[in-house]
Structure 1
């Protein structure tokens, strides 16, 4: 049976119990729709409604934003059924967007029997290499599902991830991982002329990621990272520095992605291996932003000491925005600040919503 946040928990997380109740209704309604909208863009709505509510949005704002988002993006319903999937056949539908409905029905049935965490743990060895699914937004949806303790959303997330599965295939089995520094993996790419001045196949992030997987100079760098016990902790500050230095759309997803990885980690068997697959996606996107050098430690420290508006002001600016990436970044930044104590997270949050320059 699906479990969601209780009324008592909701009263502590949201403005009031009524907001928590309306949020559950809205997310359940959104759950009937597809994980993407035309053309192959991620439907952020189930996740950003949760983020907005935790940032202080009242029920009326959540309702208005859900209506705006669904209409402005023409978010469709799930694809119609093609044929039922089972434990022996669901892998055959990996990466097939037209099978999203079938995959979500399969995972809904499985989660109802096994529970969300048990199902995710069992299938993650299959799904983890395809973490680039919908530009990592399958991971995002799963993370928020676990944040909400919502098994219905866990099933939706797993089906969405499977339907949009995107992996780097054909990495030589004899390749032995030998790289432990995620920052060095980025910096070393700058010396390769074949990785400069690349043309974007489309505006879609996942199409760029897919194209990079076909480039020999990039493929040579895959499968080399060691999934050490602290790998997620090692990529977190690199992601933050990269975003602070560029404030780019691509680096934003590195910051939020580290938060998502932290949320799913207790519910999967090998979280550091999943983090390695995630970092290979970041490596691909690093080429898209021109492979800039990260800020110096002195620059980062200077930014950490910039005057900041109050948390409530940053949160309110995010809630007032209609840009789903404002809600996502600010919420993840606040949560990562609580986890690390690094004030730079609040700085980039304030920058993102235009409250400080940079």
Structure 2
């Protein structure tokens, strides 16, 4: 990977805002990081040439952030949040800023249809792989600022984030992710965007018991293992449900992937609540977008991981690229070839 090309792409993108056309997320920073990460640097600037024209300018601030709690989730303060994090990342080590703000932002993981946390995950990976420099620090600041400006809770998730007592691995069964995914209810009214749909979860009687069905991780090891399992099976669920909402169900996979990628930069005490928040995000996206009935997994031409990502890169849609990026990580961790089919299926559907 050429980190120089990624830095050039970041510099082009940092003149644009985190959203466009009202509230659509700017996928540019996430997509170019994935393209560069998988050796497709030559496509980065061509991809951006086509993408930049749809984006809005960087939003201007209104006034400095003083009471951060009151400003969380206030999209009118987006410019203020971007300035806030830019300043903090100039003055403090990025891991310190992330460590302070991760537990504050985590309860609002639904922000921007989960794109807040997803963008942070891509930014943290770039910093981990290549170290800190101005373009990468600016990207982390814009990612955190976007998350703060669009901060949105998932109904019932606050109870999941309470810390569990610490025990040894031998004292506690691992969280049963597969059973919890299988028990998720569906909303009846499937009109409108994700903000409207998430609001309807409060009226689903089975929602909060289903959300609480995932046993909390009581050790960092359990949390990491639970996140790997969550990404794995959310990826397999895309094969069963993706036909209904091919774009939106991508986020059931990419949101927990972003959390998993961020773990190494966090204090291990934050790993268990990170699993809980990632589960809430995947569960919510599944409940408001996946159909009740699954379909048989599609037929997808076998390919190596490199070929799978190359197909996604040729396709060019940011969601296809990001899903391929996520399932390649999951395939590397599990060896389950069905995950590669999920990326191929997205190429067919989107």
Q: Which TM-score applies when normalising by structure 2?
A: 0.80
Cα pair 1:231 1:276 within 8 Å, conserved? no
Cα pair 2:109 2:278 within 8 Å, conserved? yes
The 5-angstrom pairing of residues 1-358 of structure 1 reads: 13-14=1-2, 20-59=3-42, 61-71=43-53, 73=54, 75-86=55-66, 89-149=67-127, 150-168=136-154, 180-190=175-185, 195-200=186-191, 202=192, 204-213=193-202, 215=204, 217-219=206-208, 221-222=210-211, 225-228=214-217, 229=222, 230-247=225-242, 248-269=246-267, 270-287=270-287, 288-292=289-293, 308-354=302-348
CA separation in 2, counterparts of 1:172 and 1:246? 27
DSSP-derived class of the 2:292 partner: coil
Q: 1:173 to 1:340 in 2, by over 3 A?
A: closer
- Report the more deviating stretch, 311-320 or 144-153: 311-320
CA separation in 2, counterparts of 1:77 and 1:244? 37
Shift of 1:327: 0.9
Shift of 1:171: 7.0
DSSP-derived class of the 2:49 partner: helix
Q: 1:82 to 1:284 in 2, by over 3 A?
A: same
DSSP-derived class of the 1:133 partner: coil
Which runs of 5 or more structure 1 residues have no equivalent in the other structure?
1-12, 15-19
Q: 1:180 to 1:332 in 2, by over 3 A?
A: closer
CA separation in 1, counterparts of 2:234 and 2:143? 24
Q: 1:62 to 1:212 in 2, by over 3 A?
A: same
Cα pair 1:103 1:159 within 8 Å, conserved? yes
Cα pair 2:232 2:330 within 8 Å, conserved? no
| Structure number with larger C-alpha Rg | 1
Deviations 1:162-200 (A, max 9, x none): 00000136778699999943333343344xxxx453232
Shift of 1:98: 1.4
DSSP-derived class of the 2:322 partner: helix
Q: 1:179 to 1:284 in 2, by over 3 A?
A: farther
Cα pair 1:129 1:277 within 8 Å, conserved? yes
Q: 1:311 to 1:80 in 2, by over 3 A?
A: same
Shift of 1:334: 1.6
CA separation in 1, counterparts of 2:336 and 2:197? 31
Cα pair 2:330 2:339 within 8 Å, conserved? yes
Cα pair 1:197 1:290 within 8 Å, conserved? no
Q: CA RMSD in A?
A: 3.0
Aligned residue pair count: 320
Q: Which TM-score applies when normalising by structure 1?
A: 0.79
DSSP-derived class of the 2:154 partner: coil
Which runs of 5 or more structure 2 residues have no equivalent in the other structure?
128-135, 165-172
CA separation in 2, counterparts of 1:234 and 1:317? 25
Shift of 1:222: 4.6
